[in-house]
Structure 1
Amino acid sequence: MSNRQTKTDVILIGAGIMSATLGSLLKELVPDWEITVFEKLANAGEESSNEWNNAGTGHAALCELNYTVEKPDGSIDISKAINVNEQFQVSRQFWSYLVDSNLIRNPQDFIMPLPHMSLVQGEQNVSFLKRRYEAMSNNPLFQGMEFSDNPEKLMEWIPLIMQERTSNEPIAATKIDSGTDVNFGALTRMMFDHLKSKNVEIKYKHSVNNMKRTRDGSWELKVQNLDSGTVERHTAKFVFIGGGGGSLHLLQKSGIPEGKHIGGFPVSGLFMVCNNPDIVAQHHAKVYGKAPVGAPPMSVPHLDTRFIDNKKSLLFGPFAGFSPKFLKTGSVFDLITSVKPNNLVTMLASGAKNVPLTKYLIQQVMLSKEKRMEELREFVPNAKSEDWDLLVAGQRVQVIKDTPAGKGTLQFGTEVISAADGSIAALLGASPGASTAVSVMLEVMNRCFPQYMKEWEPKIKEMIPSYGVSLLKKPELIREIHASTARTLGLGEKELQLAR
């Protein structure tokens, strides 16, 4: 064991998109603060942020039907869709600032324009989609959305999906050209390259094993060098835990009261990947359907064009699975060791409430490749088994906590947990995750650095012009942001036309 001890201003645990974003924001606001990053793996963006471990959708609620809920009177509540879209606009503005400032380059390496579509079948679902379209298309955030239930028009939009479709069931889709495919792995690596050039110390193959408060209110972390086996102690005034599924265990080790009575439920994902370039070339969109009854929101089926390593790919999924690991590179003991005396009742209550979910996950795990192909054929009727391979994607840990709705409520969003004094914060949860990273990290800063926010505000507004403003009340600002970010990020003429 080493007796080496170092002090720094900020420690970021995990080299994913969240730590990359928080580090980049802080380096612009307070360049003289010292920042150290610890990552268990050998490179940045290798777990949840990796391009093969998530859907790569720029989540802006353009196509995701689970963000728009049908109310008892038949009207469509789009408030969550508005919130998610506004958060994505914040991310686009910050990414544009990084490109304009030459802090990262070649935006086409991490973001590409791609139509986002919703597709439904059956009279009831078509009616729902039409009402959703009517509620959203008049909103300036969703300008340019189209609806069609005409098979000829749908053949133009999605030929691969419409070819050889024999069902007489009504079918309809919405399409909006301002959608994006985002390679969060590439973006994460770019941002860490930038941070390294700003003298941020990034320690790969270093695992944070424990942490405790010191007398002066700082945090002392026990960190193991996985190559040498030596253990070092690092102290910081502020710690951010951005370790994906691994964040829950570290939050528990912190001992802060806010981390008690919180559990996690891991869900793994699998995708089918097309290995036939001729088929890949026939599809150009992200097409989201409706989740089956009893399926969790993250299991909404979608057929996605992806751009990875400058190559066009086609993925279908996700198929849910279960593993007790909290990370793809984690341990089979992750789930059981996360159960503590303070969250045992919460976890048991959640288990009792979520029997249908457990049953659904077991069914998904047991699916053969041919059964998965049958689900794919709901989207691509003539899909052939030899043209598709199975890919294991990332692990997502859904937050379980006590809420006004009851004990052991399973949450499907992103949660920030922070100490009352703002000295430590952790990010838990899943979708919309990476797409809203900038908004989430601004929330972390508001909670943990309230004494600096007024001083930082002018610079934040330079980076994010809409900061502190409701875009919904400023249609002209929406058009301005759409146009400027589309131009900087190279998102195409269609979006620039929509912004005019």
Structure 2
Amino acid sequence: MNSVDTKTDVILIGAGIMSATLGTILKELVPEWKITMFEKLAKAGEESSNEWNNAGTGHAALCELNYTTEKSDGSIDISKAITVNENFQISMQFWSFLVNRKLIDNPKDFIMPMPHISLVQGEQNVNFLKKRFKALSNNPLFAGMEFSDDPEKLKEWLPLVMKDRTSKDPIAATKIDTGTDVNFGALTRMLFEHLESENVDIHYKHSVNDIKRTSDGLWEVKVRNEQSGAIENHTAKFVFIGGGGGSLHLLQKSGIPERKHIGGFPVSGLFMVCNNPDVIKLHHAKVYGKAKVGAPPMSVPHLDTRYIDDKKSLLFGPFAGFTPKFLKTGSMFDLVTSVKPYNILTMLAAGAKEMSLTKYLIQQVMLSKEQRMEELREFIPNAKTEEWDLVVAGQRVQVIKDTETGGKGTLQFGTEVITGEDGSIAALLGASPGASTAANVMLEIINKCFPQHMKEWEPKIKEMIPSYGLALMDNPELLNEVHSSTAKTLRLREKESVLN
């Protein structure tokens, strides 16, 4: 039996970092608005935002080589690195605001200082890294970055990586100490606890089954209470679909024209996790390598120090896996049911274009543990098989869409926002850098969906994000002020010895 219809101002679908961020910002801007959130799982941050389902890197393009590409003339294009870094600075400012407002008690519960290192081997890759370092170090966003190809210096930076290394190939690294390790699961849970205290209606174990437009322009969301089985109808002026891999199906159900010519391809991730505390304490950094030829950007190998459940961990990966599910808790029919008459040509075009990705995924799925260990030994030469366990991380749905530059069926490696023409509905699709840029992405949604309010909201937004509307790289004094204030507020100045 249907429950009595309820009306609200905003409906958030999915209890991940995106909904948490959007809900928190909106509550600061318009505390009188009524917000309702639905999540099919039992608590917040259990899918893509969960600390075991993502790399926990504060993506600022400090070490991720896929954000800088070599152009045909040999120069390095750093435009994407600048964008990612600027966006992360917005998140840092927003998190600092939350701490200063006492909405978060202890920032160390979700963010820790962590050196970010890029590591490459082979003459060609070393030359690339040198050029990348020169291009980035001339930009104030990347101040403090160091380069070295001296094995003795690399032993200081990376004792575990350099120990027992016998390869004669040239090796080099860049290092910057202002990187971070971010527990997005913990942050998500903190934000939802705050939203609950602000009288946001939070409904766990509630699955959204359908979304449709009503005759009076509102959105009706049909929700199933997983405990009682009751079907509930909720209407709102604005709906945000932040359901991770589940967002595509809900976007399709909305019926908006913008849903067409968009598809998704699921890729799962696996990590090797070290179980030897003596090995874990020898490494203190996030170390990113270079993706192999033919591998997609999300496959960039990295060796990460992580802080999870107040415990220092060491992870290596990701290794790609495949399942037709769009979520870890999804259905085996997710991929098939996402193919519609209006996106089938887009999907087929992607299939024809991305044969190398298909081949890569097949190879990855077929890897044995020992073969994965061989890849790990490119980072840790003396890694012992018995000291590493395999864990399944989260599901990511890579967006496929028709673009002017890439043509029909272009695979998008990033975060995509789809909004209805009138701004009454928005959906978030895609993957990395995702969570790291949540504050910026949510501000973009607010700007696009609520343009009539932006003038009155701008002072409050600038209180939350002092650099709002400005490029930090063009304002070095403001950049220094932001770096200094966020590091102090988030307690990122304390350094930990590598051997601790």
| TM-score band w.r.t. shorter chain | over 0.9
Listed one character per residue, the Cα deviations across residues 4-33 of structure 1 (whole Å, up to 9, x for unaligned) are: 210000000000000000000000000000
Match of 1:95 in 2: 95
Distance 1:350 1:4 in 2: 44
**What letter matches 2:490 in structure 1?**
L
Deviations 1:252-279 (A, max 9, x none): 0000000111000000000000000000
Q: Cα deviations across residues 97-127 of structure 1 (Å, max 9, x unaligned)?
A: 0000011111001000000000000011001
1:274-293 equivalences in 2 (<5 Å): 274-293=274-293
How far is 1:248 from its partner? 0.0
* Superimposed CA distance per residue, residues 285-336 of structure 1 (whole angstroms, 9 cap, x where no aligned partner): 0000000111110000000000011100000000011110000110010000
Q: Secondary structure at the match of 2:239?
A: strand
* CA-atom RMSD in angstroms: 0.8
Which secondary structure state, in structure 2, belongs to the residue aligned with residue 399 of structure 1? strand
Distance 1:100 1:189 in 2: 18
Aligned to 2:154: 154
Distance 2:461 2:154 in 1: 43
Q: Which residue of 1 aligns with 2:122?
A: 122
Identity of aligned pairs, percent? Answer: 79
**Corresponding residue of 1:435:** 436
For residues 49 and 418 of structure 1, the distance between their equivalents in structure 2, rounded to whole angstroms, comes to 22
Distance 1:260 1:369 in 2: 40
Q: How far does residue 494 in structure 1 lie from its aligned partner after superposition?
A: 6.8
SS state at 1:53 partner = coil
Distance 1:228 1:493 in 2: 49
Deviation readout 1:375-428 (Å, 9 max, x if unpaired) = 000000000000000000000000000011210000001000000000100000
Gaps of 5+ in 2: none
Aligned residue in 2 for 1:310: 310
User: C-alpha displacement at 1:216, in angstroms?
Assistant: 1.3
- The aligned residue for residue 270 of structure 1 is 270
1:450 aligns with 2:451: yes
Aligned residue in 2 for 1:492: 493
Q: Within 5 Å, which residues of 2 pair with 1:328-407?
A: 328-404=328-404, 405-407=406-408
The one-letter code of the counterpart of 2:62 is L
Q: Do the aligned partners of 2:248 and 2:429 also contact (CA within 8 Å) in 1? A: yes
- 1:64-103 equivalences in 2 (<5 Å): 64-103=64-103
Aligned to 2:8: 8
Partner SS state of residue 382, structure 1? coil
Q: Does the 8 Å CA contact 2:113/2:495 hold for their aligned counterparts?
A: no
Q: Is residue 113–residue 494 contact of structure 2 (8 Å, CA) maintained in 1?
A: no
What letter is aligned with 1:456?
A: W
Contact 1:178–1:494 (CA<8 Å) still a contact in 2?
Answer: no
Structure 2 letter corresponding to 1:25: I
User: How far apart, CA to CA, are the structure 2 residues paired with 1:60 and 1:181?
Assistant: 11
Matches within 5 A, 1:169-180: 169-180=169-180
Shift of 1:493: 4.9
Does the 8 Å contact 1:319/1:364 carry over to 2? Answer: yes
CA contact (8 A) 1:20 1:191 kept: yes
SS of 1:273's equivalent?
strand
Q: What SS does the corresponding residue of 1:318 show, helix, strand or coil?
A: strand
1:133-282 correspondence runs (5 A):
133-282=133-282
Runs ≥4 residues deviating over 3 A: none
- Aligned pairs, how many? 495
3-state SS of the aligned residue for 1:188? helix
| Counterpart amino acid of residue 393 in structure 2 | A
TM-score (norm 1): 0.98
Q: Please report the TM-score for the alignment, with normalisation by the length of structure 2.
A: 0.98
Aligned to 1:498: none
Look up the equivalent residue of 1:434 and give its one-letter code: A
Contact 1:177/1:494 (<8 A) preserved: no
In 2, Cα distance between the equivalents of 1:408 and 1:338?
Answer: 15
Task: Give the AA of the match of 1:35.
Answer: I
Q: Distance in 1 between matches of 2:104 and 2:228?
A: 33
Compute the displacement of 1:201 (Å).
0.7
Determine the C-alpha separation between the residues in 2 that align with 1:490 and 1:157.
Answer: 22
**Cα deviations by residue, 1:113-163 (Å, 9 ceiling, x for unpaired):** 000000000011001001100111121100000000000000000000000
Q: What SS class does the counterpart of residue 93 from structure 1 fall into?
A: helix
